Amino acid sequence: MKPIIIDNHQEDREITLWRELLAGNVSSFEQLIDRTYDLLFQYGNKFCRDRELVKDCIQDIFLEVWEKRNALNHNIPPRAYLLASLRRRLHRVTQRNRLQPVEDFSPEGSQFDVEFSAEYQFIQTEQDQQIASRITTLMNELPKRQKEAVYLRFFHDLDREEIAAIMDIHPQSVSNLLQTAFKFLKTQWKAIISVAIFFRFLA
């Protein structure tokens, strides 16, 4: 299975689009929305299962960008900026709903929640399938903030500084979150490997 090759560097393209949109270019604005929409939607959905609410919030943050485009910084990475704005907005909206409790909104609505899973048809050997199953179980046991950092770092390729901006914490805290997560995965991993080896002997 050969990977699909992506030629141009995503991030550079987004920064270009960002600058063009800040200068008032509607077509660049549209392209940037199109490129980042899936990620924003997926990320937002981890805080709030109400997809219409997430879509409304994404719309609001883009409209705000457009409205304030004269005042925004040309040099910030747009992806992280948009994710951070969406996260803040979702918190604000769900917080407000929590203050005046409406039975239709879940009170724990603004916590990051994700479930990791494995697609076993991609894995050939039974031994690797066992490993995949154990890894996902362990990942799902991680605390929410560690999960969020892992999600952004390893599944959406955001770097430490960007994650710090998004989660509104110090970059060092991001490193700590990731290190704690990996310490946990690593110690448990040893157990996985020995189980896997055991199975190989049985086979």
Partner 1 sequence: MDQYHNFTLEEFVWDDSFRNWVLRPTREDDEKWQTWLVENPEKKALIESARQLVAAISPKEAPLSSQEKKSAVSRIISRSAEEELLPYPAVTPWYEKSWLSIAATVLLMIGLGWGIWFNNQRTVVDYEELVAASTDQLMEKVNSTGKPLSVKLEDGSTVKLNPGSRISYPAGFKSGKREVYLSGEAFFDVAKDPANPFFVYANEVVTKVLGTSFFVRSYTNEKEVSVAVKTGRVAVFTRNDPALDIKKNSRELSGVVIEPNQQIVFVRETVKITKSLISKPELLEKSTLHHNFEFDDAPVSVVFSTLQKAYGIEIIYDKNIMDECPVTAKLTELSLFEKLDLVCKAVDASYEMIDGRIIIEGKGCKMN
Displacement of CA 176 from its chain's centroid (Å)? 18
- Cβ contact 60:13 at 8 Å: no
From the list 12-20, 77-85, 163-171, 181-189, the region that binds partner 1 by CB under 8 A is 181-189
Nearest to 15 by CA among 79, 61, 72: 79
Q: Does residue 136 belong to the site contacting partner 1 (CB under 8 A)?
A: yes
Q: Pull the structure tokens for residue 61.
A: 């943050």
Supply φ then ψ for residue 25, to 5 degrees: -85, 110
User: Between 80 and 114, whose beta carbon lies closer to partner 1?
Assistant: 114
Q: Pull the structure tokens for residue 2.
A: 């050969």
Least separation in angstroms between CB 122 and partner 1: 4
| End-to-end Cα, the chain, rounded Å | 26
User: Between 50 and 84, whose beta carbon lies closer to partner 1?
Assistant: 50
Contacts with partner 1 by CB under 8 A lie at 1, 3-7, 9-10, 24, 26, 29-30, 33-34, 37-38, 41-42, 45-46, 50-53, 55-56, 58-59, 62-63, 66-67, 93, 96-97, 102-105, 114-120, 122-125, 128, 131-132, 135-136, 139, 151, 154-155, 157, 182, 185-186, 189, 193
